[in-house]
């Protein structure tokens, strides 16, 4: 919804956010596979860019966030089981290596990362060639 004057004043004075034009709330409800349980999440957002935005554009930007979530973080969690990792001291380095691996696999034209992993592990020379090693 378009920010009313009272909300604009509050955000500017209390939080130092001038030029707030829109704010909103998104409620998400997800079912956990095969369990019958549901989880709900409520997210608040604020838009205050200098560029005018329509409600349709704001909706597209919010959905764009989930495109990143689904194409990167979901792959890291499912393919590399990153959420289950207990490697706290080297976790950042392992995360960076996994992200590089995903990018290398996608540059080879694989639609699904697990297919690329299997292809690279089936022939060591192929995986090394992707990295430019041989």
Whole-number Å distance between alpha carbons of 130 and 102: 12
Is the pLDDT at 115 greater than 80? The verdict is yes
- The phi-psi region of residue 101 (left if phi > 0; otherwise alpha if psi is between -120 and 50; otherwise beta) is alpha
Is the pLDDT at 99 greater than 70? The verdict is yes
Whole-number Å distance between alpha carbons of 113 and 107: 11
Indicate the pTM of the whole model: 0.48
pLDDT reported for residue 3: 55
Closest to 76 (Cα-Cα) out of 39, 103, 55 = 103
Sequence-distant (≥ 6) Cβ neighbours of residue 38 within 8 angstroms: 29, 30, 31, 32
pLDDT reported for residue 58: 78
Whole-number Å distance between alpha carbons of 105 and 121: 12
Span 10-30, average pLDDT: 78
pLDDT, one tens digit per residue, over 31-58 is 776 777 888 888 777 777 667 778 788 7
pLDDT reported for residue 110: 92
What separation in angstroms does the CA of 101 have from each of 3, 27, 28, 108? 43, 34, 31, 11
Confidence of residue 88 (pLDDT cuts 50, 70, 90): low
To the nearest 10 degrees (0 to 180), the angle between helices 113-122 and 91-107 is 90
Is the pLDDT at 70 greater than 70? The verdict is no
pLDDT reported for residue 2: 56
């Amino acid at each position: 919804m378009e920010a009313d004057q009272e909300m604009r004043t509050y955000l500017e004075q209390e939080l130092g956010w001038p030029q707030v034009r829109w704010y909103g709330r998104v409620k998400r409800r997800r079912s956990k596979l095969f369990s019958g349980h549901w989880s709900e999440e409520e997210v608040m957002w604020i838009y205050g860019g200098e560029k005018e935005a329509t409600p349709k554009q704001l909706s597209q930007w919010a959905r764009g966030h989930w495109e990143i979530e689904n194409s990167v973080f979901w792959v890291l969690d499912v393919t590399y089981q990153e959420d289950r990792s207990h490697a706290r001291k080297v976790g950042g380095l392992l995360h960076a290596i996994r992200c590089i691996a995903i990018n290398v696999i996608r540059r080879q034209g694989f639609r699904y990362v697990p297919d690329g992993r299997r292809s690279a592990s089936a022939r060591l020379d192929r995986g090394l060639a992707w990295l430019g090693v041989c």
